[in-house]
Structures are given as structure tokens and as C-alpha cells.
Structure 1
Amino acid sequence: MRDSHEKNHSLTVYVSIGLLLLLTLVVVIERLGIQAEETGTELEEVPASVVQNKKETEELLKETLIIMDEPVAGQADVELMQVLDGLSVGYDTMATEEAATTGLPDLSEYRTVVLNTSQTEQLANSGALDEVMNWVEGGGRLWNARPNVNSAAFLNYPDAFGIEEMEAGPQEVWQFDLVTDFMIGSEGFSYELEDFETYGLNVSFTEDTVIHAVQEETETPLIWEKEYGQGRIVVNNMDIGGKSSRGIYEAQYSLLEDVFAYPVINSSVFFLDDFPAPFPEGWQEHITEHHDMDVETFFSTVWLPDMMQLEEKYGIPFTNVVVVTYQDKVAPPFDETVDKETFEFYGKLMNMSGGEIGFHGYNHQPLVLDGFRYSEDLGYNTWHSTEDIAASLEALIATTNEAFPEENPSVYVPPSNILSEEAREVMANQFEEIKTIASLYVVTGTAYEQEFDVGEDGIVNLPRTVSGLEFSEYNRWMVLNELNFHYVNSHFFHPDDLMDEDRGADKGWTYLKGTFEEYLQWLDDHAPGLRKQKASDGAKAVQRYDAATFQRTSSENGYEISIDNFYDEMYGIVRIRERTVQSVVQSVDGGKLTPLTSELYLLEATQDTITIQFDE
């Protein structure tokens, strides 16, 4: 490729890297009018004593009874319980067979029953189903969380579930279309369920049934609700469980009550992996094709100013995670010479809009020991000992601190999102600088999986949920779910995405920049009040979220939220069903509400008790 350009570029003038960097600096500052900013954090770190005082799930008020197939929870049950844990909902579990043979507990002790079972005929035959439905009619809440094409509940109580007609046999479901704004970001939302194989009931409904999601092509309802006597029933008619769908399930659960509040993190974080890091020299096929320049010139004079313009326009402080060198040594000494001038220049320039520097690796070799087996051939080495891993981390931290003495990096991103527990133990025991690890929320292969929480070792887990520059269908699905579950956006990409065809490089930077900006604008339009944070601040928001739990109390004209283990601030989402409450918010003591949809509000709590009063 380089030879083919020698004739076409015989008159090209190559400038030294020093002049190129100076030119870039002048161009960027002129284009953006950027003023250097302090990169201090907005949130203070939560003391360990507060984090460790978290109330465990078993200590929460038992609001819900889950009836499930097996005595030992299956994966669908585990995911459901993860959702309830995230909502600060206490629950008991009971196997379907036990409920059918020994009877149900006193349902008056619960607010909600969740049917997460394919064996409702056992409940019907034993009379337990009649007991549940009578309880719902008297004011209870029922969530049918698992689709069941032969459900005795639907067959025995069609009116209660709003069913007018039900055709025999299942209906294949391949499309998810939201038709109400019961979720954040639901306007015009449609998703092709390529990663799911699922079926649902083929039914038609009575007029008083409220349908929230359908498969439009077949008019198959996927999520609906129905008032039954003094109670309410919500039905899920699709099996798309898993971490990427938790927001869908959270939203269904929150429909059950007239008013329902739950804690969220409220953080939007953008990671730029492998930056600052050495750029490849010379020419590269996709960059040359679209921009007619070598790699270094493109990144210095086109990509970097564009990135800073996006950072300035949308107010997103990038967290840039450092790679010192791409040599593949996994044994000391780690003394590779780096181009400090370039290294410092790129990092400081990217941080002028308030971003920060984080750690990625002295090199790009994942911190795993000999004997580790990668799920695919990535061309990486393994490390011979934890001492060698520690030596590389020490070199990484020393080099980064030397280049950026004004920074206090605290966030570590594992190379290729792969990390061993042995390496994490090294970090926790030997490197107090590393306070946060940011890997992945949903994983494949041997990647390191995380929840949004604080580990027992005190390190904050801040997983990334989406990646890449294209606002793909999957990215939209994941962002929709995480906005509704955690009110979080956590995204990463790499400069070398622009040189990898699998990540869209053949489409060119102009196209990828446009799709990335579409994503940024979508967030601004659909997530009011979403805090745009550096990863270190996002981690501190996770500390507050993980430490606290909500307790909820309803009255005729009010709603009280008590926050256990409140530190200094907390966020939540409140659903207020004006359709059923027939009221508007008169006052909010202890916080403020920001509208998100017609019935969802972002709660900013400033004290541990929030009281919402409604007009009569």
C-alpha cells in the first residue's frame, strides 16, 4: 500500500513530529476556543465504612413472593432476582411444586406475586392459582414474568388477563416494538431480536387492556397490563432474559404500583481505550482511502480536533486510558523508551475539556497467568508470576505519573477486557492508586464480567455496556435497558477502530463520526439530567448507589422514600401513574423531580427522606 502512494505523493512535504504537534495545537485551539481546565473530581470518595454498611437483600422488607419452577433458581430466576435486588425490593422464593403441594404462605404479607414458572397447571390443579387470583382481585399485584403458551392462568382466567381470544399454538417473536412511553427512550423504539429465539401467545384483547409493546408485523402483544378488581396484572409475553434485557423487566415490575421509586446511579461515562498510546507509523489502507494521508497526520490533524469538538459540543469528559508501549514483554525489566513529547501532548490536549487519564497497561498484554486459556487466538502472552504483573503495574503507574504529574489516575481498564482474579488481588493489595476497574457488563468468551457495585476488596466495578462508533441496533437495545435499570451509559471505543474493518473502518471516519454524534444526540434527547462524568466520578456514583437502599411508603395523597445508608446525595427513578393516581405532584421535600416520560421522573435526593405530596 505504501509503494502505491509513493508516485501519487511525490510532492508531499513531511514535517517533523514536533512541528506537527505544534500545528495541531494551534488548529485545535483556534477551532474550539478551548481553555485549560482543572481536572478535579466533582464527587468525593465515599468512606469504606459507609460502603460496608450496605443493607443486604435478606434485610429488606419482603414485598414480593417469586414462584419459580425449581427449588434451586435457574438462570431466568437469577436474572429476575438481580433486577429486584437493583430495585431494592425484598423477596421470598418458592418452588411451584412446593406451592402446589404444601400451599402458599399468607399472601397478605406481600405486595406482589411473581409467576416465573412454566408449570401453572400445578398451581391450578391444587387450588393455589385460585388463591392467588382472589388475592389479586382484592388488591394484590401479579406479574406473569415468563411466557407460557399453555398457561393455566390464561386459560382459567382470560378476563382477568384481558384476553378476548387466544389462538392455539405459539407465535414466533422476532421484533420488539414499543407503543407507549412506559420506558425511557421508548419513542419510536423498535428492535430486531436477532440474538433471541422466543415465542409468545397469539391473543387479542378486551378494550380495557393496556398494551405497551408489540410485534407490529403480526400484531402480537409482548407486554401488557390489566386492572383486575382492586388489583393489577402485568404480563410478559416474550423470553428475552439476560443482563442486556434487565431494563425491560424493571419497567414491567414498576408498572404494578400507582407510584414506585427505585435507586439508580445516574452517570454517563465515555472511555477512549489505548489513548494516549503510540500510533502506528506510515500508511494504512482505510485511512489513506478516505483521507489521503498517513496515520500520524490523520490522527493529529483530523481525528483529534474532531474528537475535541465533540467533547466540547456535548460536554462529555473522556476518560483516556494509557498504553505505554505495544511491545509484548511479560517479564521485567519494563524500561521501554517512550516518546514522552507525543505521549504528554495527546493526553493533555484531550483533557483540556475536563477529562481525565486512566490506566490500561504498560503494554497491551492482559494480566493473566500461565495456564490461562483464551477463548480465541488473540496473539497475547501470559504472565509467569504475580510479581511480574506487579512490576508491570508499577512501571505503568510511574510512567503515567511522570507524564501527567497534575493527574491522579485511579481507573484501570483491562486490555481486551481480560483480567485474572490473581491480578485483581495484586491491585487491591499493592496498588492503592487503582480504585476502579472498568471491564464489561455483558461478556462473551474469557472477558472479565462485572456488575455495577463495589467488590469485597473495596475496588469499584464500573463495567462498560456498549462500544464502537456505530449506533448499532444492539447498542440502542443495551442503552435503552441500562437507562431504565441503572440510568447509566457506559461506552468505549479505540482510535484503531478506524483501521479495523470489523469495527467499521471501511466506512471511513466521516461516517463513523456521524453515527457516533447521532448516539450522543440521542442520549441528550432521551435522558434529561443524565450526568456526564469522568470514570472516576462515575465510580463514586456507583459507591453511593451500591451502599444505599430504598424503602417505600404510600399514603392516600403522598409517597415517602426512605434511603438507608444515605451519604450526601442519591438518585432514583419514580414512576407516577397519573392514569391511576389521578393526581399531579404538589410538592417534593428532600429532593427534586425531573420529568423523563409522561409518568417517569428522575429523582435527585438531597436528604435521606423524600416526601412527595399529590394534589387531591
Structure 2
Amino acid sequence: MAANLKFPFIIAAVILILGISVLQWGRMNSLHVVFPTNETEAEEFQVMSSAEAAENDLTIYLQEPEAGDTLGQDTLENVKYTLDYAQLDYELIQPEEVAGIPPSPWHILVLSGELIETWDHDAVDSFVLEGGRVLAANRFPSVEWMDVMGVHDFNDYIDDQKGITFEQDIFPGYPDLPPESTMLTHSILDLEIEPGAELIASVEGHPLLWEYEYGLGKVVYWNTTVTSEKTSRGLLLNSLSLLPPAMWINQSGMQIFHIDDFPAPIPLGSLPEGVDDSYRMSVKEFYTSVWWEDMKKLKDTYELPMTGYYIATYEDQFRMQAEDIIEDDDYFMLLFGRSLMDEGGEIGLHGYNHQSLVTEDEPIDPELGYVPWRSMDAMVDSLEEADELFDYFFPEHQMRSYVPPSNILNETGIEAIAEGLPDVNVISSIYDGEEKGSLIQEFGTDDRFEQLYHFPRLTSGYFGNTEEVFRLVDGIAHTGMMAHFIHPDDVLDPDRAKDRSWQEMHDSLEARLEMVNNTYPHLKGYTQQDALNKWKLYEQSAIYASPGENGVQLSGTEAVMPSTGYLRINEGPGASEGSLTNAFVNEVPGTAGLYHITVSAPDVTIPYEEEGSQ
């Protein structure tokens, strides 16, 4: 009987000992191996092509400016990138070749530059009179060219004109920029446009963009120099789409949301004043119970998987090994890293530490206070330690994406990444910027290391002003994507927070995500790796629009299935809305002749609306 009474106590003691042992084992960071994070399955994409080669009636000719025409060369380069990202083919021609272009509403000649002595005025004049189309991509002064360009009279240049006012919408979502904005600073011609010209946009009361019918043809004219800048690419593409009878504007259809410095060691101490007086807690508590919880709610609401970029340590020097970092502070990786993975996200590398991968011979803003790396070998060693740390916490995952600290990176650092992180296949910095040493990117494979792809972020922050919204919309208008990044500690920095509380920052970010969700519902959320895979397929795709007797025929080659984009119809009846066979059509409110369309087959006819249906 006594033995029977002792038995339950023995069992309880064994369970207690086992429990303590398991907890101790967990404290030694082994539970993450026994219970790994959920494996996020890579998105699978398919492509579709027409049974016969897709016919493209649209031909775009880019006239090359003179070698010394800086404005012309810069504008031409900007136009080429714009067309490349929209998957639109073009031909480069010399001024003397313009006379050989057959006049057609499907033939567009793009002029750029201000040194016009070699331009063939008579050939361009005849081309438009007989039905051709011309995009004047920047302002140029000439009395001889006034008639064809829709200019009634002009005087001299006016510099430092700021902002933009849309007299009519050419793409949904663009906000007006007031004269106080410095984002778009124009040099324009002081001019008057012909009464028959249709004004599309102005700046400080002056005509900025208009379209003009001349003979059987049409001209769209940009009275500005900002078309040489990246921030105008969406406007360039959509102004060009006003010229032919119809045009398909391709969209990659993606949202990518990055969180830099996450996961990363959390600052010690309490929240600074101004974050929000209602949060009387430490930074660690705020990140855990407020900031990250709010971010997860945004992720769920807008179906937006997040890609975090982790920092191992904030020490300036490369001193700590992976095992030292694990022993020193594993909280941020175990809590936030695992949570991010379990939420369907991805973790890439921001750096072993927050020191940009540049040597003392490479440019960097000294005010950042960063310590240059002594050699590429030192960079490689640090990257390998960061990779070892990632493998320890997430043995079933691969770290394949990289974001440079402060978006600063140079040739030595790129080579170090190629050598030290052989699994990394994408580097994401920024699309535009002026900070010394910043890696300003275009989309594409690295010039030296073909395994590395450059995939810039187009916007950042919590959308504190109209300029950030304009940049967001222009990016969507020409790439079909929102590629955005934030930092958890933005809220701790009064400058980056723009003196707003966390609630105000959160509400501003949510308002922009809501706007994107409502205005561009075709943009689907992806992790960085899935976005890279889709974009590479999108680069090879093409969809063409050809109006026929009963509707507009869309034909595709290697198009992502389903494909999404905008159809602009400039002549004839509009398109029928609603669900069609292999397509769904929505007219864009407030933007005449523009329809958003999703197609799930390579050959689709979008029927014209029936007369009187509106």
C-alpha cells in the first residue's frame, strides 16, 4: 500500500525533472531546432502565349539627340528605361531617318533634346499631318516648330517652377504637388498654347503638358525638363499612351513590403517623449506588444507578407563571432524572427552590423559616422558569420535577399556579397536618391556577378507628405508595383517620424495601404523572393492591343498568367465592363478611356460597349 502511495509522487518528480531539463535545454537555444518555423512555400508562376505570334501594330521610334545635348541624352535614357519596364519595344533612329517612317496612328515618334538644328522639321510636320503621332518629351524653343506642337506664342525660359497641377487625370491616384514642393522643379517655356490644344497639366499657372491634334495626327508635348528624372517615368508612360488609338499598359501587379533592421537587437531604455504619452513602457515592450502587433494586423488586413532584414549586432567593429551573439542576445531572433517567418514572411540580411560595406577609398557621407572596412576579406568574414547565425536559428530556411545598411554599397561590397553569401540572389537598395555613396539601382542583373539581381525599393517611410504619395503612384504607374520599406526605429527618431506619435505614423501608413488596396486592387503582396521570381518572368512578357471591328484584341507572348494592366482607348467606343470570358474589365473612375483589365488567357477580345449602355 505504501509503495502504491509513493508511485504518483515518483511520476510527478520525474515529470518535474524532465520539464526543468526541457526548459534548460530551451534556454540553451535548442527548442528552435526541435520546433522549427513554418516553411513558407514559394509562389509558383505560369506563363501563357498566343497560339500564333502576337501581332503588334504599335511601333515606337526614339530619335537620338545630338551627342552634346545633355537634356536630350538624359531624357532619352529615361524614356528607354520607362519603355523597358513597361515591356514596350522601340527602335532608335537618327533625325535623317524620320522621313522614312510611314505615317500611321500606330507609329509614335519620340523627340528629346533642345539642340534641334539637325531635326527634320518638314519630315515631322508631314508625318503628323498624315496621321502619325509625336511625343515631345521635353521643352525646346523654336518658332518654326510652333504650329505642329500646338504652341500659339512663346517668349523666354522660366526656371524654378515647382509642383504640378493636373487639369485632368491620366492615371489614377496622382496628387497635385503645390509650388512649395521641391520634388518637381521645372525649367519651362513661357508660352501660350493653341485654342484647340487640350491642357492636361500645368505648373504655377503655366501650361506643362497638353495634347494637340494636327492634321490627321496628334502631338503630346511636355513643356519641362523634369522628364529627364526618374520621378517622371509613370507620367511619361501614361502621356505616351494618349497617342495611339489604343494601348496596353503592362503592370507587374505586385506589392513588396520590407522592414529594415528587423529583427535586430532592441535599444535599451524607455520610449522617448513624443512617441505617445499613453505608452509608458520600455522600447523592448513597445516593439513587442505595440509596434509588431500593429504591423501584423496591417499584414493580415492587406494580405501583405513582409520581408525583414536582420542585423546581428550594432557594434561598429567586427569582433563578435556567431556564438558570442547567440549568447549575448538571442531574444530578437527567437521572438521576432520566428514570428515573422510564421506569419508567412521572409528574412534577408541587412548586415552583420550596421556598417555599410565600403572601404575608406569608396564614397560615404562622413556625417553617418560609419567605420570603413579595412578590406573585402573582412567584409566576407562578417557576412559568413551573419550567415552562420541565420543557419543556427533557421536551419530549414535559406537567406537569399540583401539590403545594404543605409542603402550604401559599392563595388567592393557587392563582390564580398557574391563571395561570402553564395545563396544570395538579390540586392535591394533604392531607386532614387542623392545621399553620398547610396546604391541607386535600376532593375536588372549585376554587371559583374550574374547570380545577383538588383531590385530597388521605390518608396520608404510612413507617408508623411504628398511627395511620398506622388512617388508611390508614379512607381505603380510605370512598374505596376509598390516596393516599400520602413524601419522599426523610425518612431524613435524625431526627424524620420516627422514629429508624429506612433499612432499618427501608423494611421498614415494604414491610409496609404488602404488607398493602394482600393485604387490598385490588382497589386498582390509577395515576399522579396517571390517578387523577384515574378518580375523576371514579367521582364520576358509582352501583351499588345489591336482594335478590331467588334472589340480590342489582346494578344500575349510569355505573359504571366494571369496578367494585369491598363487598356487605354483613345478612339472609337469604349470597352464593355464586367466579367468576360478569360478577362475582367473595370473602367477607371475619373480617367476617360482607361480600363483596368485582368486576363487569364493569351488571346482575349474586349468587346466595345453597346451604344447607349452608359
Per the normalisation by structure 1, the TM-score is 0.80
Residue by residue over 1:348-403, the C-alpha shift from the partner in whole angstroms, topping out at 9 and shown as x without a partner, is: 33444432222212211222235223133322223333333233222222222332
Q: Which residue of 2 aligns with 1:321?
A: 309
SS of aligned partner of 2:525: coil
SS of aligned partner of 2:530: helix
1:459 to 430, 452, 458: 452
Deviation for aligned residue 1:66: 1.6
Q: Which residue of 2 aligns with 1:185?
A: 173
**Aligned partner letter, 1:535:** Q
2-structure distance, mates of 1:472, 1:62? 39
Residue by residue over 1:424-468, the C-alpha shift from the partner in whole angstroms, topping out at 9 and shown as x without a partner, is: 334345534212211111132211121223446133322111111
Residue by residue over 1:268-327, the C-alpha shift from the partner in whole angstroms, topping out at 9 and shown as x without a partner, is: 111111111111111353367733332222222222222222222222222111111112
Q: Which residue of 1 aligns with 2:188?
A: 200
2-structure distance, mates of 1:531, 1:559? 26
Q: In 2, are the aligned partners of 1:166 and 1:201 still within 8 Å (CA)? A: no
Residue by residue over 1:550-585, the C-alpha shift from the partner in whole angstroms, topping out at 9 and shown as x without a partner, is: 4555545444444444465544332222xx222324
The structure-2 alpha-carbon separation of the partners of 1:466 and 1:141, relative to structure 1 and needing over 3 Å to count, comes to same
**Aligned partner letter, 1:286:** E
Q: Which residue of 2 aligns with 1:14?
A: none
2-structure distance, mates of 1:533, 1:189? 30
1-structure distance, mates of 2:276, 2:58? 62
2:367 to 354, 357, 377: 377
Greater CA drift, 67-76 or 460-469: 67-76
The structure-2 alpha-carbon separation of the partners of 1:380 and 1:189, relative to structure 1 and needing over 3 Å to count, comes to closer
2:349 to 356, 359, 374: 359
Residues 550-561 of structure 1: pairs in structure 2 closer than 5 A = 550=543, 553-561=546-554
SS of aligned partner of 2:367: coil
2:272 to 265, 268, 285: 285
The structure-2 alpha-carbon separation of the partners of 1:453 and 1:585, relative to structure 1 and needing over 3 Å to count, comes to farther
Residues 510-549 of structure 1: pairs in structure 2 closer than 5 A = 510-549=503-542
The structure-2 alpha-carbon separation of the partners of 1:176 and 1:549, relative to structure 1 and needing over 3 Å to count, comes to same
**Aligned partner letter, 2:131:** G
The structure-2 alpha-carbon separation of the partners of 1:342 and 1:479, relative to structure 1 and needing over 3 Å to count, comes to closer
Indicate yes or no: 2:116 matched with 1:144.
no
**Count of residues in Structure 1 that have an aligned counterpart in Structure 2:** 554
1:115 to 105, 111, 117: 111
1-structure distance, mates of 2:581, 2:38? 34
Residue by residue over 1:586-605, the C-alpha shift from the partner in whole angstroms, topping out at 9 and shown as x without a partner, is: 89666544544543334444
The structure-2 alpha-carbon separation of the partners of 1:407 and 1:122, relative to structure 1 and needing over 3 Å to count, comes to closer
Deviation for aligned residue 1:187: 6.5
Q: In 2, are the aligned partners of 1:322 and 1:400 still within 8 Å (CA)? A: no
1:238 to 194, 211, 224: 224
The structure-2 alpha-carbon separation of the partners of 1:287 and 1:324, relative to structure 1 and needing over 3 Å to count, comes to farther
Q: Which residue of 1 aligns with 2:122?
A: 130
Residue by residue over 1:15-70, the C-alpha shift from the partner in whole angstroms, topping out at 9 and shown as x without a partner, is: xxx9xxxxxxxxxxxxxxxxx995624523899xx9xxxxxxxx999631425243
SS of aligned partner of 1:68: coil
**Aligned partner letter, 2:393:** A
Q: Which residue of 2 aligns with 1:64?
A: 61
2-structure distance, mates of 1:314, 1:504? 23
Residue by residue over 1:203-240, the C-alpha shift from the partner in whole angstroms, topping out at 9 and shown as x without a partner, is: 4455543222123x52x221111222221111111221
Q: Which residue of 2 aligns with 1:3?
A: none
SS of aligned partner of 1:328: coil
**Aligned partner letter, 2:352:** Y
The structure-2 alpha-carbon separation of the partners of 1:607 and 1:46, relative to structure 1 and needing over 3 Å to count, comes to closer
Greater CA drift, 252-261 or 605-614: 605-614
1:485 to 472, 478, 481: 478
2:250 to 263, 266, 269: 263
2-structure distance, mates of 1:449, 1:481? 17
2:385 to 385, 395, 402: 395
Q: Which residue of 2 aligns with 1:223?
A: 209
**Aligned partner letter, 1:583:** G
2-structure distance, mates of 1:329, 1:411? 23
**Aligned partner letter, 1:63:** I
The structure-2 alpha-carbon separation of the partners of 1:615 and 1:294, relative to structure 1 and needing over 3 Å to count, comes to closer
Q: Which residue of 1 aligns with 2:31?
A: none
**Aligned partner letter, 2:458:** T
Q: In 2, are the aligned partners of 1:119 and 1:151 still within 8 Å (CA)? A: no
Deviation for aligned residue 1:535: 1.7
Q: In 2, are the aligned partners of 1:46 and 1:540 still within 8 Å (CA)? A: no
2-structure distance, mates of 1:395, 1:460? 23
**Aligned partner letter, 2:73:** G
- Percent of counterpart pairs with the same letter? 25
Q: In 2, are the aligned partners of 1:176 and 1:192 still within 8 Å (CA)? A: no
SS of aligned partner of 1:108: coil
2-structure distance, mates of 1:105, 1:505? 55
**Aligned partner letter, 2:456:** P
The structure-2 alpha-carbon separation of the partners of 1:39 and 1:177, relative to structure 1 and needing over 3 Å to count, comes to farther
Q: In 1, are the aligned partners of 2:564 and 2:596 still within 8 Å (CA)? A: yes
1-structure distance, mates of 2:259, 2:384? 22
Deviation for aligned residue 1:90: 3.5
2-structure distance, mates of 1:600, 1:37? 45
SS of aligned partner of 2:366: coil
Per the normalisation by structure 2, the TM-score is 0.81
Q: Which residue of 2 aligns with 1:78?
A: 77
2-structure distance, mates of 1:132, 1:421? 44
Q: In 1, are the aligned partners of 2:263 and 2:308 still within 8 Å (CA)? A: yes
Q: In 1, are the aligned partners of 2:457 and 2:485 still within 8 Å (CA)? A: yes
Q: In 2, are the aligned partners of 1:287 and 1:498 still within 8 Å (CA)? A: no
Q: In 2, are the aligned partners of 1:278 and 1:325 still within 8 Å (CA)? A: yes
SS of aligned partner of 1:514: helix
SS of aligned partner of 1:336: helix
Q: Which residue of 2 aligns with 1:87?
A: 86
Q: Which residue of 1 aligns with 2:16?
A: none
Indicate yes or no: 2:237 matched with 1:250.
yes
SS of aligned partner of 1:377: helix
Q: In 1, are the aligned partners of 2:37 and 2:394 still within 8 Å (CA)? A: no
The structure-2 alpha-carbon separation of the partners of 1:471 and 1:526, relative to structure 1 and needing over 3 Å to count, comes to farther
Residue by residue over 1:153-181, the C-alpha shift from the partner in whole angstroms, topping out at 9 and shown as x without a partner, is: 11xx1xx4444x43533445323011222
**Aligned partner letter, 1:601:** Y
Residues 563-582 of structure 1: pairs in structure 2 closer than 5 A = 563-566=556-559, 569-577=562-570, 580-582=571-573
Residues 309-348 of structure 1: pairs in structure 2 closer than 5 A = 309-330=297-318, 333-338=321-326, 339-348=329-338
Greater CA drift, 554-563 or 110-119: 554-563
Q: In 1, are the aligned partners of 2:427 and 2:455 still within 8 Å (CA)? A: yes
Q: In 2, are the aligned partners of 1:68 and 1:93 still within 8 Å (CA)? A: no
Greater CA drift, 251-260 or 348-357: 348-357
Q: In 1, are the aligned partners of 2:60 and 2:110 still within 8 Å (CA)? A: no
SS of aligned partner of 1:536: helix
Q: Which residue of 1 aligns with 2:407?
A: 417
2-structure distance, mates of 1:550, 1:455? 27
2-structure distance, mates of 1:607, 1:37? 37
The structure-2 alpha-carbon separation of the partners of 1:422 and 1:167, relative to structure 1 and needing over 3 Å to count, comes to closer
1-structure distance, mates of 2:440, 2:583? 34
The structure-2 alpha-carbon separation of the partners of 1:45 and 1:610, relative to structure 1 and needing over 3 Å to count, comes to closer
Report which of the two structures shows the higher radius of gyration computed on alpha carbons: 2
Q: In 1, are the aligned partners of 2:220 and 2:239 still within 8 Å (CA)? A: yes
The structure-2 alpha-carbon separation of the partners of 1:112 and 1:192, relative to structure 1 and needing over 3 Å to count, comes to farther
Greater CA drift, 247-256 or 444-453: 444-453
Q: In 1, are the aligned partners of 2:274 and 2:500 still within 8 Å (CA)? A: no
**Aligned partner letter, 2:594:** L
